[in-house]
Structure 1
Amino acid sequence: MRTDLPDLPASRTEPDGSAIVRVLSYNVRSMRDDVTALARVVRACAPDVVCVQEAPRFFRWRKAAARLARESGLVYVTGGATASGPMILSSLRAHVEHTEDVLLPRTPGLHQRGFATAVLRFGRARLGVLSCHLSIDADERLEQGALLLDKLASLDVPQAVAAGDLNDRPDGRTFGLLAGALQDGWATKPWGREHTTRLGDPEQRIDAVFATERVEILGCGVPMGLAGISEADLRAATDHLPVLAALRIRP
């Protein structure tokens, strides 16, 4: 695999108080695969925030979450079993102002779903964060998309991101609902690879990073070709590809 992908802007605080923040969205399949490879991918992306989907939810899940954070050079913020899978990790650069895990209405016969949310501060700049993993059922997924927009608005932070596994494609109803209300990172400033399904599977973009209007998106996509990320690690880590975005947020 080529490793000549131009890097996204590095995390930093600008003289005017604005902050460049790197946000990673990654479905880790309950860490059932190669956790060492997974951590190498995360570290190579150098994220400030990681929106995790399918975090461990059962026996000793907190220990597994702590392991992923530790091996990735990050800290646990919120989520996991308490949000039925979505989780948020961050670098030490982030100051955590508030967290809340939300369980969504459950349809009998389908998995429980939830949101992990946080308000983080980078210097004087504040960012609302929501990690999600939406339903495989189209009608329930659409309802969850509307709830996602409501929850993101309730964080009461003008600059916010929602990231995760949508189980929907850009031509789907739920993806369209979110893209109509928020900036779709890839569509706004494409960088890297578009499709997020496992290498060798049918190419689909079902994972995404969305941002509110006041967030400046500097680039967003799958970091294939980024220095430090091998195809072997991407294949071994989990059954999704990560989505990395660089954002500028202002005080």
Structure 2
Amino acid sequence: MTDTGVPLRVVSYNVHGQRDDTAALAEAVRQVTPDVLIVQEGPRRFRWREKSAALAASVGMVVAAGGLPSLGNLLLTSLRVRVTDTRCGRFPLTPGRHLRGAAYADCAVESGARFTVAGSHLATDPVERPGQAELFKRELAAAPFPVIAAADLNEEPGGPAWTTVAAGLTDAAVTADRADRLTYSCANPRRRIDALFVDPRITVVDYDVLDTPLTRRASDHFPILVDLLLPAAD
């Protein structure tokens, strides 16, 4: 613990259904040793529990929450993080569209600092996204601890869904003066559609979008790496 807070390293990563180079994916995550990994497009179908556990093992972490109940949103943690409660949600289905959802976990670290981590993946349909963002935001607002929320929002800053989720929270990229770092696509980086937001009580120490030979092979999205300081326990 520092004099001003408790360090926590978080990665948010749309892993593209693990359809790309899974060895590169595992190595890219292991190299940065996160305490929390927020996954979009994780296992959500046949044998999803086994596949989620295998993904967690490949990066040296354990499954905290998510999978099929949250429709592919997955929260993984290191052994440093203690998970005290979890919940999953699904957004209402629009006929002919993909199901979407979110995963949430209340956590603590060894010093007693508490936080709620959340992950989601909003629709590509601009008509659906704002309603999904409102449901996601409702759960974030009800969280019992300072929030760390990451999502593939499928839209850029200033869009209605982005604005809804970001309200009252800190955009880690903006705070670190790195909002010019693009997250999609690895083949042709042109958009920032992946974001990580935190409660204002949480300090953003550093933010990066990991553009490396490994991450260009691992998915169609670049991962976000954020170093935070949690407020110390009272």
* Counterpart check, 1:219 vs 2:200: no
Given candidates 83, 92, 95, the residue that maps to 2:82 is 95
The answer to whether structure 1 residue 133 and structure 2 residue 125 are counterparts is no
Shift of 1:111: 1.0
- Alpha-carbon offset, residue 193 of structure 1: 6.8
TM-score, normalising length from structure 1? 0.87
Question: What residue identity is the alignment partner of 1:175?
Answer: W
Write out per-residue CA displacement over residues 43-95 of structure 1, whole angstroms, 9 at most, x where no aligned residue: 11211001100001112122211111111011111101110011100000001
Match of 1:37 in 2: 24
Structure 2 stretches lacking a partner, 5+ long: none
Residue in structure 2 matching 1:240, options 218, 221, 227: 221
Task: State the alpha-carbon separation in 1 of the partners of residues 185 and 31 from structure 2.
Answer: 19
Give the secondary structure class of the aligned counterpart of 1:63: helix
The one-character-per-residue Cα deviations of 1:117-176 (angstroms, maximum 9, x if unpaired) are 00010121001011100011112211111111110122221x111102100101311112
Given that 2:15 and 2:220 are in contact with CA atoms closer than 8 Å, whether structure 1 keeps it comes out as: yes
Alignment counterpart, residue 76 of structure 1, candidates 33, 51, 63: 63
Q: Do 1:215 and 1:249's aligned partners in 2 also have CA atoms closer than 8 Å?
A: yes
Residues 192 and 142 of structure 1: CA distance in aligned 2, closer, same or farther (over 3 Å)? closer
Give how far 1:192 is off: 9.4
Matched, 1:86 2:86: no
| Alignment CA distance shift 1:192-1:202 (3 Å) | closer
The runs of at least 4 aligned residues of structure 1 exceeding 3 Å deviation read: 190-193
* Offset, 1:178: 2.4
Q: How far apart are the structure 1 equivalents of 2:76 and 2:70?
A: 14
TM-score after normalising by structure 2:
0.93
Please list the CA deviations of residues 223-248 of structure 1 after superposition, one character each: whole Å capped at 9, or x if unmatched: 23xxxxx41x1122111000111111
Q: Match for residue 13 of structure 2?
A: 26
Worse-matched range after superposition: 170-179 or 238-247: 170-179
Residue 182 in 1 paired to residue 163 in 2?
no
Residue 156 of structure 2: aligned partner: 169
Report the equivalent of 1:145: 133
Q: Summarize the Cα distance change of 1:43–1:191 in structure 2 as closer, same or farther, 3 Å threshold.
A: farther
Structure of higher RCO (CA pairs closer than 8 Å, 6+ residues apart): 1
The 3-state SS of whatever aligns with 2:150 is strand
Aligned residues: 231
Q: 1:89 to 1:136 in 2, by over 3 A?
A: same
Unaligned 5+ runs, structure 1:
1-12, 225-229
Checking the alignment, whether the CA contact within 8 Å between 1:192 and 1:222 is kept in structure 2 is no
Q: Percent identity, aligned pairs only? A: 38
What's the Cα RMSD here? 1.6
